[in-house]
Each structure stands twice: as structure tokens, then as C-alpha cells.
Amino acid sequence: MMKKSIFTIALLMLIGQIWAQQDETLFSKTHRGGFFVSTMIEYSDFDSDVTSAVGGGAAFVAGDVFFGGYGMGTVSYADLFDGNITKLNMGHGGFWFGIVPFRHKAFHPFASAKIGWGGLNVEFNDGAFDVEHNIFLLSPEVGFEVNFFRWLRISAGAGYRFVNGLDNTMNIRNDDISGPTGTLTFKIGGFGRRNVNN
């Protein structure tokens, strides 16, 4: 009888410990650590003309940090800069890493950065030029993330895109493409078990 009591108490303590390790979500419970894939939508201001970009990424989760890679493409058909540009394409990809403190809470902050390389292609409306340039980008951002399910997290962030590598040969400067950004990201995967030391 004593052994059964000790076993029952130990089992209840173990269950309590497992419960304490679960992350909070809106609709289900989740454990800690792993890997995710994501789709992302980015909004930016190309010379006062809001432009959207779409892309995706994948990353490993290790505690409160994640690291992986991303890719993103932008197409703008609006009249930009001096009005001679018919089409502007920008594609880039590279490293993606961030920190997500209080990840076990249903609502929590995050900070991340994308460091990438790519190309900018510009077509002018007279058809005379189709110019491509290599570019380097750094895009830090901060925001909030919501745990909807153990396998789905949605984050919204605000940041700034720094671009380097452009010159005035296309009448486009680094500052024309650099600027504030807003990002909506959908992450799907396994986010791992929360490690708790009582």
C-alpha cells in the first residue's frame, strides 16, 4: 500500500512537471523545441508607393532563439521615382535568425533579422534599358507573436530594410529602396519543449 502511495504521488508530481513545461496557446497546448517553415508577406514604401513582397523561410528552434534561411521576391508596376520605370523586380535571400522570449505565453514579443543578397531588375518605359544590380540587405524587425495552436504561430512585426549596392546609373540610390517595413509571418511546425527549472 505504501509503495502504491509513493508511486501515485511521484506520478502526480511528474504530471505536474510536464504540465508546467507546456506552452500556452489560444486553442491547444504545445511543448517546446524543433523546426518550422513559414510564409511571409512584407509591406514596404518604395518612394511613398506601398509595395508588397512575398516569400518564405525555414528555421531551427533552440530554446528562445531560432536560426535558418529565407527567400523573398518583390514586383512593383507602379510609377516610381522620376516616372520612367515600368517595372521593378527585387529578389533576395539569405540568413534569418531571431529571439523569442516568453515563447511559452500565448502572446509574446520577438526580434529578428534577415541578412541576404539578391538582385534588383529595373525596366524603363522607353524599352531602352533593362538593368540588373546586385544588392546586399539587412532587415531587422521587432513585433509580437501569437500561439494559435501547438503547430501554428502568427507574428506581425515592424522593421527597416537597409540596402547596399546600388548607384545612380539607374537613377536609383540605396535610400530609394531602403525604408520601413511591416511583415506578417505564418509559422508552421514543431516548436519544441519548454525547459523549466523549478
pLDDT for residue 198: 39
Does 177 reside within a domain?
yes
Residue 127: closest CA among 79, 78, 84, 82? 84
CATH of the domain at 138: 2.40.160.20
Does 130 reside within a domain?
yes
pLDDT for residue 188: 94
Does 198 reside within a domain?
no
User: Which own/partner pairs from 164-170 qualify as long-range (CB within 8 Å, at least 24 positions apart)?
Assistant: 164/135, 164/136, 164/137, 165/133, 165/134, 165/135, 165/136, 166/120, 166/133, 166/135, 167/133, 169/131, 170/122, 170/129, 170/131, 170/133
| Span 98-151, pLDDT tens digits | 999 888 888 999 999 999 999 887 776 665 556 678 889 999 999 999 998 888
Report how far residue 178's alpha carbon sits from residue 163's, in angstroms, rounded to the nearest whole number.
5
Decide if pLDDT at 21 tops 50. Answer: no
Does 136 reside within a domain?
yes
| Span 137-196, pLDDT tens digits | 999 999 999 998 888 999 999 999 999 887 765 667 788 788 899 999 999 998 876 554
pLDDT class of 17 with cuts at 50, 70, 90:
very low
Question: Within 13 Å and on the Cβ side, how many CA atoms surround 135?
Answer: 28
- Count the domains in the chain: 1
Does 104 reside within a domain?
yes
Does 22 reside within a domain?
yes
Boundaries of domain holding 43: 2-192
Does 197 reside within a domain?
no
Does 163 reside within a domain?
yes
| Span 34-76, pLDDT tens digits | 899 999 999 887 666 677 889 999 999 988 889 999 999 886 6
| Span 74-99, pLDDT tens digits | 866 555 555 566 677 888 999 999 99
- Burial pattern 156-175, b for ≥16 Cβ within 10 A else e, equals ebebebebeebeeebebeee
